[in-house]
Chain A
Amino acid sequence: MRRRKLAWGGADLVVLAWVAFPVWWIVALSFKDPSTITDGSFWPTKWTLQNYEGIFKTSQFLLALRNSIGIAVISTVVAVVFASLAAYAIARLRFPGKKVLIGVSLLIAMFPQISLVTPLFNIERVIGLFNTWGGLIIPYIAFGLPFAIYTLAAFFREIPWELEKAAKVDGATPMQAFVRVVAPLAAPGVATSAILVFVVTWNEFLLAISLTSTTASRTVPAALAFFTGASQFQNPIGSIAAAAVIITIPIVFFVLFFQRRIIAGLTSGAVKG
């Protein structure tokens, strides 16, 4: 018994170290003084907040952060709202073309994005979407929808059909049944898919670098590539590391905050069980 525990604990430690190493490396880098940034040491020898102060002094990072937040939030909200409707239909209704819909959304999820970069670039330039928020939000919604539909459909399927019937017999309109019974039970699913879409959008680099050209719409992952550091002549690695740490914070926050809700699931006890 104890030996099994030890073995598990050891395995956990290995996995944890493996995963945490790059994260720690970036964090360490972000606190290193520019003069020691290339020393390759695991622990900063000269601690400094200079890198963080630096990125907030110029507008470059702040503008990118604003773009990132705006674009990710809008894409997520729109994708999750539409995905909820689609997923509900997929889980609950029989309609012609259902299989096709599922197939197409699967296809989109699998599609190699790199092959779309050039066509998207040309289309967006022609219709004036290039280097705008819309130019990123639209493809992000398109790529976020399949993920969201999949996770949400799985959650909706878990909600017993009879709960809705019960609500209807209890006097609810279809809308009331959805809002008061289905939606609260699907909340963990909505949160899960929202986080998924948000994380993917927030981290997206390929389209962000290809479809933007100025700080008007450049998101943080793309902007990092254009960082110059606190001064023109400084090595920007410290600043990039600091910015990377900052944009990781919301992701960590989301996961920690919603983890319990996501895992718990709310439907237990609905049926005889």
Chain B
Amino acid sequence: MSTITLDHVTKRFPDGAVAVNDLSLDIGDSEFCILVGPSGCGKSTTLNMIAGLEDISDGELRIDGQVVNDKAPKDRDIAMVFQTYALYPHMTVRENMAFALKLAKVPREVINQKVEEAARILDLVPHLDRKPANLSGGQRQRVAMGRAIVRNPKAFLMDEPLSNLDAKLRVQMRTEVSRLQRRLGTTTVYVTHDQTEAMTLGDRVAVLRGGFLQQFGTPKELYENPANLFVAGFIGSPAMNFMAASLEDNHLRSPLGEVPLSDRLRRALEAANVERQVIMGIRPEHFEDAALVASQPERAGVFFSATIDVVESMGSDVYVYFSLEGARANAAELEELARESGSAELSSAAETVVARLDAATAVREGEQARLWFDPAKVQVFDPRSGRNLCLAV
């Protein structure tokens, strides 16, 4: 039951590397806060500073309003779940979970009772007297969680706790973690590089890039109003489509045709006073098969034709891929995202676009298809700063 505040926190390592740069976060009581970003962006360092395992070079860290910069980890009353679980291999599951309570000189009966309760919640009762070496990956993960919850601490810190599990177990444990956090109501800071985990678990999500905070908000805010190209490209799967576009008087000239600007967007762009070259972003689900939209005349929008390269049917939806010659959007952020996702075909000038269509669509691979998209959902970014121009009001 605590708040955690990072007030302009910076971490400079002795070798001069700045891992976290002027980070300010205000994490509320009982909040589930996610730190997400590509590997090396400073997530673990941030978490370690909150735990007290790394010194804070600059700025203030407050827990419950109290500055704790100089407090040792043991005096912060915080529990941590490590990526590798860090179970004590020479202790049984019971001893692992009881360790912190023993150090705190909690009476033996209370310890036993708390450990048994945690074991019941986490389904570990039959394994209490086994050593970690004899447990499966999922069981070890639960012991690591158990070690945190028996303490009833001010906050949980979790550093990629699910990344060592296989895909199926990961999804299962994700739900488990979420339920546990709601049930206990303990303030939680959760680190992940997986945007799906971030979106599904977090009350609020902080996106980091190269030690800088990009945006801090609810999953919905990040998804609908990304602050910049990086957040727009990082959040969402499949990712937002980006393409080069140019600004005309009252429309956007894009490879998908002329996109009329809404009043709101026009005002925002005027206020931002940008150059003509911009990057247009549109999410896959904002496309539709034109044939399916035609029956709903109230849905105004932009129609265009494209040759479909690939069709992937998911049952409920159909993903179609097509390329736009010479439409490649160029920006540092996009290159970083491409490297991160491993799709660094930087030499090609063509931009592949993904569209999610209704399952009723009749488009076929290799054929020309007529598609539609909703111009109101289009985002416009400044290619140099990466800023989302739609938000600049």
Instruction: Show the binding face of A for B, using Cβ within 8 Å.
Output: 94, 160, 162-163, 165-173, 176, 180-181, 184-185, 266-273
Contact = CB atoms under 8 A, between A and B. Distances in A.
B86 A160 contact: yes
B89 A266 contact: yes
A167 B100 CA distance: 8
B103 A160 contact: no
B169 to A, nearest CB: 12
A272 B164 contact: yes
Nearest to B135: A269
A170 B100 contact: yes
Given A168-B72, A171-B100, A185-B89, 20 more contacts: A94-B14, A166-B88, A167-B99, A169-B53, A169-B74, A169-B80, A169-B157, A170-B100, A170-B151, A185-B90, A269-B87, A269-B132, A269-B135, A270-B84, A270-B87, A270-B88, A270-B89, A271-B84, A272-B137, A272-B164
A184 B90 contact: yes
B82 interface: yes
Top 7 A-B pairs ranked by shortest CB distance? A269-B133, A170-B100, A162-B86, A166-B86, A271-B84, A269-B132, A272-B164
A165 B88 contact: no
B88 A163 contact: yes
A157 to B, nearest CB: 15
Contacts, number: 89
Interface residues of B, number: 34
B322 interface: no
A51 to B, nearest CB: 46
20 contacts: A94-B14, A160-B84, A162-B82, A165-B80, A165-B86, A168-B74, A169-B53, A169-B80, A170-B100, A170-B147, A171-B103, A181-B88, A268-B89, A268-B133, A269-B132, A271-B84, A272-B85, A272-B137, A272-B140, A272-B164
B78 interface: yes
Given A162-B84, A163-B88, A184-B90, A169 B131 contact: no
B103 A170 contact: yes
A165 B14 CA distance: 19
Contact of A163 (B86, B133, B135): B86
Contact of B53 (A165, A176, A273): A165
B134 interface: yes
Contacts of A266: 89-90
Contacts of A171: 73-74, 100, 103-104
Contacts of A169: 51-53, 73-74, 78-80, 157
Contacts of B135: 269
Interface in B134-155: 134-135, 137, 140, 147, 151
Contacts of B51: 165, 169
Contacts of A272: 84-85, 137, 140, 164
A189 to B, nearest CB: 13
Most buried by B among A162, A166, A168: A166
A172 B86 contact: no
Contacts of A271: 84-86
A269 B73 contact: no
Contacts of B104: 171
Given A168-B72, A170-B147, A269 B80 contact: no
A210 B156 CA distance: 64
Contacts of B73: 165, 168-169, 171
B247 to A, nearest CB: 51
